[in-house]
Amino acid sequence: MKFDYSAAEPAPRRSAHRIVLIVALCGVGIAALMSRETSANRHMPDSAMAPMLLDGDNAARYDESIQSALTDSLAVPQASEWTNIKVRSGDTLSTIFDAQGLPPDEWMALLKLGGDTLELKRLKSGEEIKIRREGDQLQELIYALDELRTLNVRRVDDQFEAVTLTAEIEHRQAQAAGTITSSLFNDGARAGLTDRMVMELAEIFGYDVDFALDLRQGDRFAVVYDELYKGDKRIRLGDILAAEFVNQGKTYRAIRHVGADGRVAYYTPEGQSLRKAFIRTPLDVCRISSPFNMRRRHPILNTIRAHKGVDYAASAGTPIKAVGDAKVAFVGNKNGFGRVVVLQHGSQYETLYAHMSRFRPGLSVGQRVSQGQVIGYVGSSGLATAPHLHFEFHIGNKVVNPVTVAMPRANPISGSELAKFKLSSKTMTAVLDQVNAGRMAAMAEPATAKTVTR
């Protein structure tokens, strides 16, 4: 799973106001501004500073002009240029200072400041350091700690001072919508969602929709999400704030909620949990080779044999996840099942996973596993013609169809938080309605038909 945090192309600057904002928020911007100021300073005619022979009134006037020159020079930093240094692999602060002809005292004093300056000990190839110097003294140093924070070190009264400037992040709401034509990943990507967001979407609705079995052409999705901007530059995509999935005509909606304890969960617009005690599919991405069937001919034994589970065909090595919090009841070999794990969920429920290629290392009877935790890997051990997961769901002593059985839901939003949730839920529901209306309008106009609204 690759997380896509790639930033978008920086948008063109919109207004002078924007530029000022960027400069104000970004240390590098400040540096750029200052270097422009100082280079203007350097173009002062040399004669202005030339010594003169003075006496009486002239001397007093000269004192005055020196005084005002000094005051002026306080407004802008000393007239020296910025040097941009690209960090190469193997570079350290000491080798860089060495190459710049700055004595070791300088970088040692700098690192003594501690705090964020210690990040300078972990320079990475490709990073950039800007320095301004006066003779063999460092005057100023600028280093981007990450995409938001910039370390600024200045010499003040023969000592270094460091501050970290943090750029202000603007959250903008964005939307994407699409229709399933091939797969959730392909159609999600076409709508502008990253792989990470598609995975999140599948996770959010994974309790109600089995994306391996239930997905149909014509299913629809809409996502309202957060985008993080620094000035006009999109840094990354944020959280999914609300989402809709229409599966085989049935509409599911999810609204993000941060609980009082800081835990994030998705709920129906009414505040019901989307989480259930069990997830539908023990595999992430797969296709089914054989549906649930109580009477079918076994391909190897060639006899009618009750097939009490679901077979998920998947390539060997695909991780198998526990569908719910459980205690491991069995790990080992069972005739035709090959390598099997049986999980016990409370007193009522049991799940079985067969034909594994291998178990998760260290998995043993009595151990606790949590929902979504990997317990083993798809294989073809036992009587299996091809790699697949044979999955069974038991309630009491009965084997039920995991695809259709009603699963118990997790707890709804608690009473005290419900009022707050209802407010954001109302707003988000309206946004989802809007996305749908936009989609309908686009479909009504064949000339500009688009399933994607961004």
| Footprint of Zn ion on 300-359 (CB under 5 A) | 311
392 binds Zn ion (CB under 5 A): no
Nearer of residues 236 and 321 to Zn ion, judged by Cβ: 321
Region near Zn ion per CB under 5 A, out of 119-127, 249-257, 375-383, 386-394: 386-394
- Residue 128 tokens, joined: 């950039």
Nearer of residues 311 and 350 to Zn ion, judged by Cβ: 311
What residues pair up with 22 in beta bridges, in sequence order? none
Rounded to the nearest whole angstrom, what is the least distance from the CB of residue 177 to Zn ion in the complex?
37
Rounded to the nearest whole angstrom, what is the least distance from the CB of residue 390 to Zn ion in the complex?
3
**What amino acid occupies position 386?**
A
Tell me how many residues contact Zn ion (CB under 5 A): 2
219 binds Zn ion (CB under 5 A): no
Q: Contact at 8 Å (CB) between 340 and 332?
A: yes
For 171, phi then psi, to 5°, come to -95, 125
What residues pair up with 152 in beta bridges, in sequence order? 142, 163
CA distance 10 to 233: 5
> Which 8-state DSSP code applies to residue 300?
T
Residue nearest to Zn ion (CB): 390
Q: Contact at 8 Å (CB) between 431 and 242?
A: yes
What residues pair up with 146 in beta bridges, in sequence order? none
Dihedral sign, CA of 63, 66, 70, 75? Answer: positive
- Residue 11 tokens, joined: 């948008």
- Residue 263 tokens, joined: 């835990």
Per CB under 5 A, the list member of 256, 275, 390, 439 interacting with Zn ion is: 390
| Footprint of Zn ion on 134-173 (CB under 5 A) | none
How many C-beta neighbours within 10 Å does residue 123 have? 21
Nearer of residues 405 and 443 to Zn ion, judged by Cβ: 405
Rounded to the nearest whole angstrom, what is the least distance from the CB of residue 323 to Zn ion in the complex?
16
276 binds Zn ion (CB under 5 A): no
210 binds Zn ion (CB under 5 A): no
Contact string 10-39 vs Zn ion (x = CB under 5 A) = ------------------------------
Q: What residues make contact with Zn ion under the rule CB under 5 A?
A: 311, 390
